[in-house]
Chains A and B, each alone.
Chain A
């Protein structure tokens, strides 16, 4: 991060030539985000991890698009599921449904 300002400065220096015709003033960029997962469906509920899990959809939680409740969770094995699906799953069986490794959370989406 620390080298970025220098870079910017250098670039600005380069482009500040007097014969420069076009200058970018404002930039409205667009990006799509999605969960950084290897498999885009949740193996437990078979719904895309980008969407809310079946249970949340059925309950049609007023705020389910807020993703507060239906985030993604990654295990140490790097498999990913809906957090809701997984928390129900581990109550029965504390193993990853895909690779049978002991389940422990590596990180959670937010």
Chain B
């Protein structure tokens, strides 16, 4: 064996040893560095060198010692240097903030130096905090949560906020920084938020109690709104965003909920009455901040409506203006609902309900007045088509609320009849529009008669032109122009459509009776199986007359005409003779004579003079009559008649209602077979849309029992049974 290569493998002499002092030396240098950073002194060694030391120490497993030593050094710094320096200061918050900001900067530097430690040793031990968090936690424990500093800090913050709430300008950045410190240290919830909310609560509790008494409602609401805005800004400026929600709750609970009753009971009606839209809207917005708020406001709103509306309806003195007032009120309320209450469905519902409630506080009267209101507008000459249409729309809205639409129909029909017969209606379109509105509201049954009335008028126009032709044709053989000096036209009405009018059997002058007969024959020739009843009380005429002052035309009623025509043959006629000649019932004749001899335009003279007509009076033609106009309308004396008419209309409505009630009772009983009295009454009220008293219902039930439609149960007299 040749040993070509003598390779000797020797044992290790031993590992190269770290110097004993390696750790201590290293740490010493680091400690000096750290302390220099904490005290803001210049460093002896560069960051680079320090970093190397840390790296080396960590590599040689001294991480643990390094961490513990750093921890201790930091703790000592905080306890023995920072703490006393903060405690002494007068500007506590400022110093605190400064200490915090500086400390953050310092540990940021330290963290960078000890980065290798963070990356190795700390990372391997999950239970350890990184250097950054470890330092923060030390700061928290030793400074912020220090038994002496903590209350001072919190009180200081709260005082600053208090001052800001009082309108003092404070250092918002300081607040922001300190509060973000609390957040960073994760003690915001624990030590700040609770006392803050508590302080807020107390402040606003007193403020609310104070101001609600001293401030006007408008000002109070503005104030609350202002406060809410301020607190909102506060949250944005320096509080944690989640505090905002609780904070708003606190405000609402201190400023609004406890005083809601006061606001709603007195404030709302004032806001609404004075039509203060902005603050009403504001109130709506504010009560929306808590769950039941909108409902409570809605209740208060409808209470106001009911109270206010009732005042309009209940006062008989105000009957003349009631409908206009109601329309205005509705307009106003509609604006409020749309402007202030965002057209909230609940609120519009409340409006409907309230109107329904107060309009029916007086039975029938609103219906009647509504009909008369429409009549007035239909006759009015100063309204444009659009204005009338607008008014009709509004009337229909009110009409929907009114119970007892039958009353409306009755009065409307009566008034419409007058308009049609006298030709007083301004616009045919408006009339049609009203009818079609009623039709869509109440169905064809409601308006069929009204439509029939229109049809009658149209048909009559056709008949009249045919009649005129007929006269020309038949009588033109003679001296036509001489014969046909009366222009007669007749409205032939279908009796079942029109209101019932009293019939009079008066003696017409021969000439007129003749015309009437010609017409009758003419009409019957084309309409067999009919009979005509003349209504002299509805007729009206134009009479030519020659006074000393010249020719005039008088626009007069038929009764007035026949009285006047008597004076063609006699200059002076006693009352008795007039009555005998025309056979008109006393009351009617007196009214007629009164209008001619005692009214504004006195075509006749009465002896002896006086306001009232008596049996012994004499009448003669007043030759000296003068008037500015060529055509003079002589008004009829009508007051009394109107009252009677009104009563008659009401009566006929009540009659009709009995049938309605009967029908409803039978319909319900037929369906249910047996029913107790109370249940029947409840069902009846549900079915009937007319105001009826329970006593009336009872009467109708009795009636039906008598007529064997229903019977009482033999054992229990409160139960009714239907008899099939």
A contact set with B: CB distance below 8 Å? 1, 4-5, 7-9, 11-12, 15, 20-36, 48, 50-51, 57, 60, 64-67, 71-72, 74, 107-110
Q: Which residue of A lies closest to B455 (CB)?
A: A65
Residues of A close to B540: CB separation below 8 A: 28
Closest A-chain residue to B447, C-beta based?
A: A65
B9 vs chain A, min Cβ distance (A): 125
Known: A28-B540, A28-B541, A108-B528. 20 other contacts (CB 8 A): A8-B483, A21-B545, A22-B545, A25-B486, A25-B487, A28-B489, A29-B489, A31-B490, A31-B491, A31-B492, A31-B533, A31-B534, A33-B530, A33-B532, A34-B494, A34-B531, A35-B531, A50-B494, A108-B529, A109-B530
Decide: A23 and B493 in contact? CB cutoff 8 A: no
**Residues in B neighbouring A32, C-beta threshold 8 A:** 492-495, 498, 501, 532-533, 535
Asked if A48 contacts B496 (CB within 8 A), the reply is yes
Residues from chain B with Cβ under 8 Å of A5 in the complex? 474-475, 477-478, 483
Which residues of B, 395-451, contact A by the 8 Å Cβ criterion? 421, 444-445, 448-449, 451
* B186 smallest CB distance to A (angstroms): 79
Which residues of B523-560 have CB atoms within 8 Å of chain A's CB atoms? 523, 526-536, 538-546, 553, 558
A residues in contact with B516, CB < 8 Å: 29
Whether A65 lies near B448 (C-beta < 8 A) is yes
A21, B533: Cβ atoms closer than 8 Å? no
| B530 near A64: Cβ-Cβ < 8 Å | no
10 contacts between A and B (CB under 8 A): A11-B514, A12-B482, A24-B544, A26-B541, A28-B490, A29-B490, A31-B493, A32-B492, A60-B444, A65-B449
What is the chain A residue whose CB lies nearest that of B423? A28
**Which B residues are closer than 8 A to A by beta carbons?**
421, 444-445, 448-449, 451-452, 455, 474-475, 477-479, 482-483, 485-498, 501, 510-512, 514-519, 521, 523, 526-536, 538-546, 553, 558, 561, 564-565, 567-568, 621
B514–A8 touching, CB < 8 Å: yes
Cβ A31 vs Cβ B545 within 8 A = no
Chain B's closest residue to A8 (CB) is B483
Question: What is the minimal beta-carbon distance from A3 to any residue of chain B, in angstroms?
Answer: 11
Interface pairs A-B: 3 shortest CB-CB: A109-B529, A50-B496, A30-B538
Contact partner, B568, options A21, A28, A36, Cβ 8 Å: A21
Give Cα A86 to B541, complex, Å. 43
List of B residues within 8 angstroms of A24 by Cβ: 485-486, 511-512, 541-544, 561, 565
In Å, the complex CA distance between A25 and B546 comes to 13
Task: Name which residue of chain A comes closest to B545, CB basis.
Answer: A22
Task: Find chain B residues with CB under 8 A from A27 CB.
Answer: 486-489, 512, 515, 539, 541, 558, 561
Cβ-defined contact, A35 with B543, below 8 A? no
What residues on A are CB-neighbors of B510 within 8 Å? 11
Residues of B within 8 A of A29 (CB): 488-491, 516, 519, 534, 536, 539, 558
Question: CA–CA, A25 to B23, complex, Å?
Answer: 139
CB distance from B443 to the nearest CB of A (A): 8
Residue of B nearest to A1 (CB): B521
CB nearest neighbor in A for B533: A32
B546 and A21: CB pair below 8 A? yes
Q: B522's closest neighbor in chain A, by CB?
A: A1
